[in-house]
Structure 1
Amino acid sequence: MDFLSRRTIRKYTTQNIEKEKLDEILKTTLASPSGRNLKPFELILTQNKDILNKLSFSKKVGSAMLSEADTAIIVLGNPEISNTWNEDSSIASFTIQLKAFQLGLGSCWINVKDRKTNDGIDSEIYIKNLLSIPSHFKIVSIISLGYPNEEKIPRNENDMDFSKIHIDKF
């Protein structure tokens, strides 16, 4: 699999994702690495169109595609379990995206940290209220999923800034 072809997808067809594919994504995510294998993350999967539509308003910009997505997985971090909750939950988030790509699905990482709705409500509070998320959890990402309805050119070496690579010292 050529991971340089994996790109953010924000447009989706109306085709439903098969349960078997969602199960594979969830199992792979639950097996993702985490510090001391503590797994300080929780996942909320929704295919409820009303919830997806409401989630599409969770940010001023960058969440609208959720209204077209078949599925969203909200990745939560639990600071009470580990001080690496953010890193471990981020790994889980990208594991979702890589597995989705392998299965022929498109995805988009939606960040809500320090974001607001059009009404000025903190995005995290908006989502916690919508989904009844306990207050001690932190929302790390929302991953939108669906069958791609857009094609993007794979990345190539011209897209890469090799000056960011340092050998032995900065």
Structure 2
Amino acid sequence: MEEDKVNVLIEAVLRSPSSRSLNPWEFVVVRDREMLSRLAQAKPHGASFVKNAPLAIVICADPTKCDVWVEDCSIAAILLHLAATDLGLGSCWVQIRLREHVDGRMAQEYVADLLRLPEGMVVEAIVAIGYPTETMPGHPRASLLDERVSFERYGEGKLGN
């Protein structure tokens, strides 16, 4: 992947807002093929595609910095997805927090050991990034759950009125 695109992605996550600007997140940029293959083994399902990606960004946090580190990491991740899309790249989230590795320990521990994270640093997710081999269409407008939107009070109003 082109270095200028990687730099744009890194800048996007570093510009991510966080609660009280405490910035509890940390990011590990992975391009090494062997490491990508090992990250793809972080959990039994939903991570294998990482091995074929040219890039993965592991979203970590120091939970002692902020009580809403999960939300802050999630904001950074969505900005990463949006920046990737803007660059013509595809991206996919791999949930790590609260998931198990095949050896019985938590996936977070597996990834933390693999990346040599400092004690106490936790892993929220891995975002795999690359050039999409297929384009998935968006959800048709008719399939959107308009009934899940209320105006002013729960259960009141209708979307489009």
With normalisation by structure 1, the TM-score equals: 0.87
Secondary structure of the structure 1 residue equivalent to 2:129: strand
Q: Which residue of 2 aligns with 1:108?
A: 92
Spell out the pairing of 1:15-94 with structure 2 (5 A cutoff). 17-94=1-78
Q: Is the 8 A contact 2:24 2:61 kept in 1?
A: yes
User: Is it true that 1:137 corresponds to 2:128 in the alignment?
Assistant: no
With normalisation by structure 2, the TM-score equals: 0.91
Aligned residue pair count: 154
Deviation at 1:156, TM superposition (A): 2.8
Equivalent-residue separation in structure 2 for 1:122 and 1:96 (angstroms): 25
RMSD of aligned alpha carbons: 1.1
Equivalent-residue separation in structure 2 for 1:123 and 1:96 (angstroms): 22
Q: Is the 8 A contact 2:112 2:122 kept in 1?
A: no
Deviation track 1:88-115 (CA, whole Å, cap 9, x = no partner) reads 1110011111100000000001001221
Q: Which protein shows a greater Rg?
A: 2
Secondary structure of the structure 2 residue equivalent to 1:126: helix
Deviation at 1:157, TM superposition (A): 1.1
Amino acid at match of 2:110: Y
- Residue of structure 2 aligned with 1:123, choices 97, 107, 111: 107
Moved over 2 A (4+): 117-121
- Which stretches in structure 1 are left out of the alignment for 5+ residues? 1-16
Equivalent-residue separation in structure 2 for 1:165 and 1:135 (angstroms): 42
